[in-house]
Amino acid sequence: MEEMLVYTVSELTREIRGVLEEAFREVWVEGEVSNFTVSAAGHTYFSLKDENSLLNCVLFRGNGSRLGFDVENGMRVLCRGRISVYNKRGQYQLYVDRIEPRGMGALQLAFEQLKKKLYAEGLFDEARKKPLPFLPMCVGVVTSPTGAAIRDILNVVRRRFSNVEILIRPVRVQGDEAKHDIVRAIEELNELNRHLVEGGEEGHPVDVMIVGRGGGSLEDLWPFNEEMVARAIYASEIPVISAVGHEIDYTISDFVADFRAPTPSAAAELVIPLKRDLAFRVEECRNRLRAAAKKKVSLLERELDHIRGKYVLRSPMNVFLQMRQQVDDMLKTVASAMTHSVELRQRELRAASGRLRALSPLAVLDRGYSITFKAGKVIKNAAVLKKADRIQTRFASGSVTSMVEKVEQ
């Protein structure tokens, strides 16, 4: 009897894993995402399903960070990876290294997701966008120093207003490191402005900033769709014009920036006016000011002629004499009024004096009566006196002091 081959569970699992890994080293699988979760370590676990089956999938953190978009439940995707077996649970699963959305490119999906996120946060609000300066003295340009964009901008500046200072901050505008370059450039120009203002050093601060590059594919323009670039533009204290690609190209930077220009040259034309137009406007203002001044002088001359014809200027002494006579008349009127007032008050005083005199006890004395006092108090009743009291008697004219010898009731 032949000896049976018996596997342990671990041995059989390893054998199956070897067979699957050999047969499915690289495989593309299409399905709908479900059971999507992210572990504390940053690894992603989900399932791919169709009408009849379900496949467990693992996307490790390193591969997930390179996706560029967020995977969500219900999304239909293509996953590339290898089939293997997780020994601990004895289940086969797909170890994913790449995911592409079905029906929409990964970059386009990432663009739409970030656009929706930043819009919800208010980064696109028109109310917080800063106005452009009328005539900037210094324009900062964040772009490649060798690309067509900087040449176009410089050509426009030379043609429109060569007096404007251009400060170029060279950056990479393509590739994985471009986003970091662009963010640093925006931050450095803002820091330069703060240093000039706070430090009081010579040099004109940057009035406006152009951030952009020439045309290219969606992949070429992608640094301007990065979230970190959008937030740097939003945080900029300097007004920012986004000028990325051609007129048909739109990036996240266009929505966040204070202004969007269809091309770099259009950005330069937007921010830098034509010198001859300004000269024409200055001349026009000068002519209008001259005409207004001439009209004002003519008006003042007519007013002066009118004033010259007035009586007060023709015979100023006569006016003075009339005013002098008016003063005399006023003084007479005042003197007469004062005399009348004094006489009236005197009559009133005499009448009041007569009434007071009629009520005065002195008038009683004039009729032969007298008043007796003791210690300054009027004596109305003899009973308050006693023998030897000193009393004073007042007459209409004079008074006497006497001593009481007898009191009669």
> What pLDDT is recorded for position 289?
92
Radius of gyration of the chain (CA): 55
Regions of the chain where pLDDT drops below 70: 1-2, 103-106, 199-201, 311-315, 319, 361-366, 368
Return the CATH number of the domain spanning residue range 9-103: 2.40.50.140
Task: Mention every residue, 6+ apart, whose C-beta is less than 8 A from residue 56.
Answer: 45, 47, 91, 92, 93, 94
What amino acid is encoded at 214 in this protein? G
Distances 90 to 9, 14, 17, 59, 86 between C-alpha atoms, Å: 9, 9, 9, 18, 6
CATH class, 136-273 region: alpha beta
Cβ burial of 284 (10 Å; 0-12, 13-18, 19+) is exposed
> What pLDDT is recorded for position 105?
59
User: Quick check: 268 and 156 in contact, CB under 8 A?
Assistant: yes
What amino acid is encoded at 127 in this protein? A
> What pLDDT is recorded for position 2?
62
> What pLDDT is recorded for position 104?
57
* Domains in the chain: boundaries: 9-103, 136-273, 314-355, 363-403
For residue 403, is it left (φ>0), alpha (ψ between -120 and 50) or beta? beta
> What pLDDT is recorded for position 363?
67
The answer to whether domain 9-103 and domain 136-273 are alike in fold is no
